[in-house]
Structure formats: C-alpha cells, structure tokens
Amino acid sequence: QYRQPSTTMANDMITADDVLLYIPNIIGYLRVALTLVSITLMICFPQRWDVAIIFYVASFVGDLFDGMAARKFNQCSTFGGLLDMVTDRCSTAGLLCVLSREYSNESALALLFTMLIILDISSHWCQMYSTTSLQQHHKSADGNNGRFFLVRWYYLSYPFFGYCCVGAEFTYVALYILARVNALGGYGILKTFVEYFLVASIPA
C-alpha cells in the first residue's frame, strides 16, 4: 500500500534509523525474504513447489498488512512506499521468469510471460512518473483526472482494482501449480480445481 509522508508529532525528530524500524517496513523486509525464498525454491528445488507457493502467497498477503500497519501506527514513509512498490514489481517479475522457464517448450507462452514483465514494470513506472510530476499520488482521483477510463476505473474502483491485482497474481500462481502438477503427474483433483480457477482469474 502507498504510504503518505509521516506527519506524526511535528516536534519529534524522526531519524532514518527510526523509519527503517517502522512496523510496516519490518513487514516489508519479511515480504522480501519470503519472495526470495519462494523464487529460490521454484528454481532450485522444484520438488518443493508446494512450500514455494505458501511462501509466495504469504508475501503477497503481507502487502495488505503492511498498509494496515502503516495507517494504524501512523508510520507512513516515502521509504515504505518505495519498498512496497519495488517488492510488488520484483515478486511478480520473479514469478513470471519462473513461468517462462516452466513453459519454455511453448515459445508463445514464454514470450507472453516475458512481455508481461515488460508491461508490468513499464506501465507502473509511467503511471508513477506522470502523476509524481504533477505532485499527485498515482492512485488519487486528482492524479488520474482526465486519463483513459480504464485507468481511472482501475485505480478508483476498489473492487475492480482488487480483482485485477489479486486475479492477475493468482493466475500466475495457478499456472505455476499447473506446470508442476503436469510435470509430476497425478494430483487429478488439484489439477481440475486449478483449471476451473483459471477460467475465473485469467480475465484479470
């Protein structure tokens, strides 16, 4: 979640060390560790794909809690917002790299995953840069005023935003599970569930 610059106790001197130890930022460090472990397991220990998925999803869910903690404890910071954004983009890029590897025999899918990495990073950068140049937050109504209706809808409609973010991320997770299940054989019920899930999540 985005974090506005802190406004706590104007008379207090908040140092860089204080910011580094903010509770939401500690959650952010844990998210980074979980992502690194999950991607390492996916690439180096694919037989532990189930553990890798648990760690990856835990990192993704942590994105909700660091924002909640920032608001609850009034520990908002520019560093926290940057940490959150970089973690999100790197986590998604890492999983898409893994998918390119898992589906390397299908060149069209491998190319698609590569293009999605480029699209994810470039689109977020463009949105951040264009709104920051106007001194607006990239999710704010003012920052998105006059933009293409899908962009406004994406950032200003929480249900649509949630469906796109969660749906896209869990589509990638489901595709990874499907690749592992197909490679290992068996898991008939799980495979069927994942295939049905993809029908609902892929549009995101």
Give the active site residues. 88
Q: How far apart, in Å, are the Cα atoms of 49 and each of 39, 54, 190?
A: 10, 9, 14
Q: How far apart are CA 99 and CA 110, in angstroms?
A: 7
Q: How far apart are CA 85 and CA 131, in angstroms?
A: 15
What is the amino acid identity at position 160?
F
Instruction: Cite the DSSP H helix spans in the chain.
Output: 16-20, 23-44, 49-72, 78-102, 107-132, 149-156, 158-184, 188-201
CB 102, CB 176: distance < 8 Å? yes
Counting Cα atoms < 13 Å in the Cβ hemisphere of 167 gives: 13
